[in-house]
Amino acid sequence: MATSRSRETVEPVDEETERDAGRKGAPTPTRKQAEQARMQRLHPVLTKKEQKARDRQARARKRDEQYKKVEEMPERVLLRNNIDSHWSVAEFAWPVVFLLLACVLATQILPVLSLVGTLGIWVFFLVCAVNVWWRWRSYKREATERIPGFTTRGKGLIGYMMSRMITMRRFRNPGPAIKRGEAY
């Protein structure tokens, strides 16, 4: 009886089903079709919108690579660290100038505010210029000690320094890597 049950549960094997199990389900493409498919992958036919999107992505990638290359220069890294490790009067330029301009614009209420605002702006710019000059001297001295063959010519470092000093710390790009007062 046990043998009859085992025979009943075993399903018969179909020879055609067994042969079809190894097949891929589609005919092999001809050489011409395979070459066309490969060329389509290499050189896809794109709409104008798709082509513009690809070009935009390529330009953005290239711009990012160039930006990273320039920002990784040892002169710039040292300059950023030098600026970020110290307090600066110039980093408060935007809020101070905004307040002083508000004083100048409020001259209809108090004419004295015009004089205070105008003198305040000039004094503040003078203090910022001295601050930038002082920091530049400090940076050049430090860079000549740390970077072999350092030169400031043709690198735009003073403009980069002024731009970074004027920008408030939280809006600097790339962001500060060190804290104020920290050695670098």
Q: How confident is the model over 48-67, as pLDDT tens digits? A: 999 999 999 999 999 999 99
Q: Computed over its alpha carbons, how large is the radius of gyration of the chain? A: 35
Q: Locate 69 and state its tokens.
A: 């290359």
pLDDT band at 13 (very low <50, low <70, confident <90, very high): low
Collect all residues with Cβ–Cβ distance below 8 Å to 94 and sequence separation of at least 6.
166, 168
Judge whether residue 184 has pLDDT over 90: no
Mean pLDDT of the chain: 85
Where do we find the tokens 């015009």? 114
Query: 3-class SS at 45?
Result: coil
Exposure pattern of 86-107 as b/e (b: 16+ CB <10 Å)? Answer: eebbbbebeebbeebeebeeee
27 preceded by a cis bond (ω within 30 of 0): no
- The upper half-sphere exposure of residue 64, i.e. CA atoms within 13 Å in the direction of its Cβ, equals 6
The residue among 135 and 8 whose pLDDT is bigger is 135
* Residue 111 reports pLDDT greater than 90: no
Confidence of residue 149 (pLDDT cuts 50, 70, 90): confident
Looking up tokens 């050049």 gives 140
Query: Which amino acid, 55?
Result: D
Percent of the chain with pLDDT over 70: 88
Rounded CA-CA distance 57/3 in Å is 70
Reported as a pLDDT band with limits 50, 70 and 90, residue 12 is low
Residue 140 near residue 152, CB atoms below 8 Å? yes
**pLDDT level of residue 139 (50, 70, 90 thresholds):** very high
Task: Return the SS3 of 7.
Answer: helix
**Could you report how far apart the first and last alpha carbons of the chain are, in Å?**
88
pTM (two decimals)? 0.64
Closest CA to 165 of 99, 69, 96, 86: 86
